[in-house]
């Protein structure tokens, strides 16, 4: 009995030791100081600690220059930001301000603020008017690159110079209770961009910005967007897809129980004509969406070509398959309530429309429902009255 009791106690102590031996690190710099070097040093120490560790940035306002916090770490690590970190004004052509990279078992929380100080950069930014190769590179505020088993909760991104949050190569990552704030006129300030990632969830968040609230790039699989309020901004977008070579398929996207207010678009899928690749976007479902004065509430745009940077005469080669828009209701700021503009080269397949109720009260009304190169399956009520145009087929198809 004594031997068995001793083994049991040892087992419990070992389990408890995972927490009991955790190490807490605290940034002790005075408010107003530059904490870049100290934070990097502290993170590296915590990252190399053999059991769980945490880094606390306490309440107060601190300066923070470009910083890269790189794993892999020896054990799970948490950063708790309670204060505000403010970016310096020097952009220097860098593509990020704060980067978390190659960390497994990562948490970021604390209710703090990443202030990107974007106002000066926006005035000098003409990227929304010219070719990408002619743009001066501006930093994304927060990058999560190849981060796995992660939970980002209760942080705010304010006035990013470029994208607020960029998620690349993530696996099993949740972003919850995220607040994103930038003026409606701030250029290219996408709220959360996800690409080449699997199992990302964006939940119970509020995004007010000058570009897409959430943009979903190539290679994204099994993404859930739920209880997100968006506006102002450009809506929730799949794409744009097809601009670059070697893009990967997009599959398993669910946007549910969300609200869009005064946005330029609602829920949309956008692909380039004369695309540089031939990929497939499938299993994309929008359901239980509330609209309040949303321009272009439901949009498939396979002729997406801003600033005439493509050949519109070449149809998009991105295949759209298994798409649904269900239980979407509210008001439109444009008579074009629903536009399904699919590729004449690869018409959309298996598109379902169910229980749509979108009202428009403008002088040029009533609201319209347009289709091209798609024959949607209709279910429930349709306001405005839905189209059901035949699929355009090319010779030999």
Task: Enter the DSSP assignment of 65.
Answer: -
C-alpha 280/C-alpha 61 separation (Å) is: 46
The answer to whether residue 234 is catalytic is yes
User: In b/e form, how buried is each residue of 188-225, taking b as 16+ CB within 10 angstroms?
Assistant: bbbbbbbbbbbbbbbbebbbbbbbbbbbbbbbbbbbeb
CA-CA distances (angstroms) from residue 266 to 37, 332, 373? 42, 9, 21
C-alpha 144/C-alpha 195 separation (Å) is: 11
Three-state secondary structure readout of 285-324: EEEEEEEEEECCCEEEECCCCHHHCCCCCCCCCCEEEEEE
Q: What is the CA angle 371-325-258, rounded to 5?
A: 135
Comparing C-alpha atoms, which of 121, 63, 115, 69 is closest to residue 91? Answer: 121
CA-CA distances (angstroms) from residue 309 to 271, 275, 302, 315? 13, 11, 14, 14
Chain center to CA of 298: 18
Task: Tell me the pairing of strands 377-383 and 198-208.
Answer: unpaired
C-alpha 305/C-alpha 312 separation (Å) is: 7
Which residue among the candidates 164, 193, 234, 285 is catalytic per the annotation?
234
Task: Please spell the DSSP secondary structure of 225-274, one letter per residue.
Answer: EEEEEE-SSS-EEEEEESSSTT---EEEEEEEEEEEES-S-SEEEEE-SS
Task: Enter the DSSP assignment of 83.
Answer: S
- Number of neighbours of residue 50 by Cβ within 10 angstroms: 9
Catalytic site residues?
Answer: 234
């Amino acid at each position: 009995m004594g031997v068995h009791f001793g083994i049991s106690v040892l087992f419990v102590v070992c389990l408890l030791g995972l927490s009991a031996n955790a190490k807490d690190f605290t940034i002790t710099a005075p408010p107003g100081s530059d904490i870049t070097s100290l934070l990097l040093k502290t993170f590296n120490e915590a990252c190399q600690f053999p059991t769980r560790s945490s880094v606390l940035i306490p309440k107060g306002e601190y300066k923070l220059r470009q910083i890269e916090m790189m794993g892999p770490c020896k054990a799970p690590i948490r950063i708790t930001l309670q204060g505000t970190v403010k970016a310096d004004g020097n952009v220097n052509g860098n593509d990020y301000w704060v980067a978390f990279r190659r960390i497994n078992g990562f948490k970021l929380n604390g209710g703090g603020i990443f202030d990107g100080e974007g106002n000066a950069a926006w005035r000098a930014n003409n990227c929304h008017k010219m070719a990408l190769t002619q743009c001066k590179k501006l930093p994304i505020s927060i990058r999560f690159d190849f981060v796995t088993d992660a939970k980002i909760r209760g942080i705010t991104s304010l006035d990013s110079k470029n994208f607020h949050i960029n998620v690349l190569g993530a696996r099993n990552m949740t972003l919850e209770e995220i607040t994103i704030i930038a003026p409606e006129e701030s250029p290219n300030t996408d709220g959360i961009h996800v690409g080449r990632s699997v199992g990302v969830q964006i939940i119970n968040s509020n995004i007010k910005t000058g570009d897409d609230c959430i943009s979903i790039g190539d290679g994204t699989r099994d993404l859930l967007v739920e209880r997100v309020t968006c506006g102002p901004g450009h809506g929730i977008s799949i794409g744009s897809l097809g601009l670059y070579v070697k893009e990967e398929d997009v599959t398993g996207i669910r946007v549910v129980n969300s609200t869009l207010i005064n946005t330029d678009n609602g829920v949309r899928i956008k692909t380039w004509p004369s695309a540089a690749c031939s990929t497939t976007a499938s299993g994309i479902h929008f359901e239980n969406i509330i609209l309040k004065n949303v321009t272009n509430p439901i949009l498939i745009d396979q002729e997406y070509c801003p600033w005439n940077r493509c050949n519109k005469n070449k149809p998009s080669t991105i295949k759209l398959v298994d798409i649904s828009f269900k239980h979407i209701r509210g008001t439109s700021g444009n008579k074009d309530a629903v536009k399904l503009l699919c590729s004449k080269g690869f018409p959309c397949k298996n598109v379902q429309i169910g229980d749509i109720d979108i009202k428009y009260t403008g002088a040029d009304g009533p609201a319209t429902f347009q289709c091209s190169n798609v024959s949607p399956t209709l279910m429930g009520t349709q306001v405005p009255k839905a189209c059901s145009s035949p699929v355009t087929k090319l010779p030999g198809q």
